[in-house]
Amino acid sequence: MELERISNSQSLKISWIKPTNVIKGRALRRKKVIPNNRNNEPSTSAVRKVAEPSPVTSVGFKNFPKPTSVHIKRKHKKDKQKSSHQSDADSVKQHAVEKEPQTYIMKESVSERVFTESGKKFGDLDIHRHLVSNLEKINFTTLTTVQEKVIPILLSGKDMLVRSQTGSGKTLAYAVPIIDALQSLTPRLKRTDGVQVMVVVPTRELALQTHELFKSINTFQWIVTSHLCGGESRKSEKDRLRKGVHVLIGTPGRLLDHMFHTSALKVNSVRCLILDEADQLLDMGFRRDIDSLVEELNKSKAQEEYQPLDILKHGHRAEDVEETEGFSLKNPNSKNRQTILLSASLSQDVKELAEFVLREHTFVDALDGSESGESLVIPDTIKHFFIMSGIKNRLVLLSAMIAAKSKQNSKIFIFMASTQMVEFHYELFTNFLQKVSVNSDNVILDGVGSDDDSDLEGVLDTKFFKLHGSMDQKMRKQVFTEFRAAKSGVLLCTDVAARGIDVPAADCVIQYTGPQTDKDYLHRVGRTGRVGKSGTAIIFLTPEEEEYIPKLGALGVQLKRLHAVDFLNCLCEIMSEPDYEKAGRALQQHYENAINENKNLRYTACMAYSTWSRFYNSYPSKMRAIFDFKRINLGHYATSFGLRYTPSEIGKIVRGQVENIESPRLNQKLSNYTDGAQEKKKKVKRTIGNISEFDSGLQPLKKKKKKS
């Protein structure tokens, strides 16, 4: 019987089904068809489509992905005796129970045109010419779609809810009219006039980035911008607030801290409130902080408007005065506060937040076509790929991919599950991938191996960076600034870098560990393809995680397959091996030797493995069917961290149950190596106290036991 095979290019167009996990009754071999008629002819519904294996499977590493196997539930002897009395066909019909196939319907991607066909420019807007010239100097000339839609409504003074994809220029859509409005006020603003605009962002890096953008487009020296975020010195922040600030940018927690405890911060003059990346603010648990912040602004505004002398003099309250229309920032006497909420996705939580903070707002959607909330809005300039890798070869394949991309002078984001994973891979790559010993038998370590720099050979002409939430603010700021300024490089990071960070030259995003939500995938890949530029997004998957491909297809994200061979060939030059099989094994051995000989690196690898396992076991219920912790081989994943321990041994090391971390002992029955240290242990230890002057120095003879 012939099975129908489907090529890799066609596999993305079909509806995928889950593989059978349990078959009760008679065990069936793989690729065998269940008979459903008397002539035992295979029915068309019983024929399963088998995907064509990757070229790596047949000629590459032995551990690279293989077709998913069918797991057979073992039977007891009693059950076997009972089933032996029944015919084969009847037993199969009665006991063959399969899971209901889960099908996914492929949807068309929901995209947004970054630039409109009108080609409208900033010079066509009614803004100050100095502001236009400064925008042209930093290569901002043409309006994007969201900017063309948002700026006119913002100038009209209405509250807005804006939905637009990542990297579409949302920040500039409100920054330009704000700076133009503040410079047009007469008389000019003074530092004593207080905060006029407050911008709330979810992360420290985004606060710094937004502040730098305001500074770059602001050519008017009397307009002062500043930012507040956790990790910075509160004393220096208080000093800046005492001097006076007009545009204040910060994270919710630090803004509330200063609003309650810093008397120099007066918020009664705030006439424009911006909530940027609102969906991420809610995902990070800032809903209560936002509510408190808005209530504090309303309270300070009410206290300012209540003037008893004005009531006695004019006979009415301040709120009885008719509200002026137009942009409130352009009117110094305006008491209105305009609120703008921006988000890349429109969930129910975002809608509820909009109902709370906005009043009679206008919804601005920059998307083309369907407005379905189930589709991910991703720039169409990003090309999406997946790569199937064997679990044991993940580390080698990632190294090969970095080597291949570094030859193209790429700037890469690599997203990992935890802080410890970032730290481990950063130490491993900087010490043992950038420079490899000319003699492949030697491993270059701190204090181990050759001390002569002539034995080191530069392999990768790229620089590694790391960014995660456990780093202090000064270091995070330095890394973020250096990576943005670098022409090429590799940033190993957690999801702290997945939101709002703008690195225009970033052309590749690699997801080494899968995202926990669909939004995480959206914002990870959004670090590339910024403002109409092209980008590449690659996600690592194992055969057990293959169902994530049609799931993304149902959300409008079409993934194409990459083959590991295309990247592994780069290792031949690095490891001086004739083919990529030997080069991959040599690099894996190189990593394992380095980790085995370095105590600190070995402990870091154990911690990275432990935090990864907790991350993988914490997937939400919607994703757990794909990223199932119970189906994975934990021992193989330990190998992907370069460890030679079992998962239980790693757990003891992490919990501190093993004080002295020793190198794992080799099984003498399976190994060809001889350990001199073990041979010495076999010898009889003799202490000085037992040696006599009449001792011959020979080993004592064992007395024979008398037979009773």
Predicted confidence (pLDDT) per residue in 492-502, tens digit? 999 988 776 77
Among candidate residues 404, 394, 413, 442, the one with its CA nearest the CA of residue 574: 404
Residues 80 and 148 reside in one and the same domain: no
Whole-number Å distance between alpha carbons of 203 and 281:
9
Both tokens assigned to 576:
């001086």
Question: Residue 663: CB partners within 8 Å, gap ≥ 6?
Answer: 596, 597
**426 plus 550 within the same structural domain:** yes
Q: What whole-number distance in Å separates Cα of residue 251 and Cα of residue 207?
A: 7
C-alpha torsion sign, points 683, 689, 690, 693: positive
Could you tell me if 412 and 487 lie in one domain? Answer: yes
Check: CB of residue 425 under 8 Å from CB of residue 438.
Answer: no
75 and 138, same domain (yes or no): no
Question: What number is the average pLDDT over the span 419-441?
Answer: 79
Q: How far apart are CA 536 and CA 381, in angstroms?
A: 9
Which residue did the predictor score with more confidence, 98 or 39? Answer: 39
Q: Which domain holds residue 235?
A: 122-286+342-365
Is there a single domain that holds both residue 50 and residue 132? no
Quick one: 351 and 423 in the same domain? no
Report residue 262: phi and psi, to 5°: -115, 110
Average pLDDT over residues 101-112: 49
Highest mean pLDDT among 98-102, 152-156, 196-200, 360-364 belongs to: 196-200
- Tokens 């409208």 found at: 120
List the beta bridge partners of residue 362: 160
Q: Is 666 a member of any domain?
A: no
Residues sharing a CB contact under 8 Å with residue 62, sequence separation 6 or more, in sequence order = none
**What is the arithmetic mean of pLDDT over 586-601?**
93
Residues 84 and 146 in one domain: no
Lowest mean pLDDT among 137-146, 250-259, 445-454, 503-512: 445-454
| Number of domains into which the chain is organized | 3
pLDDT above 60 (res 13) = no
Read off the pLDDT of residues 176-192 as tens digits, 9 standing for 90 and up. Answer: 999 999 998 888 999 99
Any residues with CB less than 8 A from the CB of 9 and at least 6 apart, and which? none
Which pTM does this prediction carry? 0.67
Please say which residue of 310, 331, 365 terminates a domain: 365
Boundary residue ending a domain (103, 136, 151)? 103
In a domain, 256, yes or no: yes
pLDDT at 44 over 50: no
Assigned domain for 27 exists = yes
pLDDT tens, residue by residue, 322-344? 455 666 777 766 778 899 999 88
Residues contacting residue 197 through CB under 8 Å, at least 6 positions apart = 178, 182, 246, 247, 248, 270, 271, 272, 273, 274, 329
Whether the per-residue pLDDT at 259 is higher than 90: the answer is yes
Expressed in angstroms, the distance from the first to the final Cα of the chain is 72
Looking at the fold, whether 147 and 279 belong to one and the same domain comes out as yes
- The answer to whether residue 575 sits within a structural domain is yes
For residue 498, what pLDDT is reported?
Answer: 79
Kindly state the average pLDDT of the residues 624-630. Answer: 93
| Residue 318: pLDDT over 80 | no
Contact 115, 379 (CB under 8 A): no
Quick one: 473 and 399 in the same domain? yes
Contacts of 192 (CB under 8 A, 6+ apart): 244
The answer to whether residue 374 scores a pLDDT higher than 70 is: no
Q: What is the CATH number of the domain that holds 233?
A: 3.40.50.300
Query: Is the pLDDT higher at 203 or at 73?
Result: 203
How many Å apart are CA 463 and CA 488, to the nearest integer?
A: 7
**What does the pLDDT average to over 620-636?**
93
| pLDDT class of 164 with cuts at 50, 70, 90 | confident
Residue 291 · residue 356 · CB < 8 Å: yes
Instruction: Give the sign of the dihedral formed by CA 703, CA 704, CA 705, CA 708.
Output: negative
- Same domain for 572 and 428: yes
Q: Please check whether residue 432 lies inside any domain of the structure.
A: yes
Per the domain annotation, does 637 fall within a domain?
Answer: no
- Give CA–CA dist 206/368, Å, rounded: 27
> Do the domain assignments include residue 329?
no
In a domain, 638, yes or no: no
Does residue 542 share a domain with residue 427? Answer: yes
pLDDT of the residue at 555: 84
Last residue of a domain, one of 75, 103, 131: 103
- Mean pLDDT computed over every residue of the chain: 77
Q: Let me know whether 416 and 282 are in one domain.
A: no
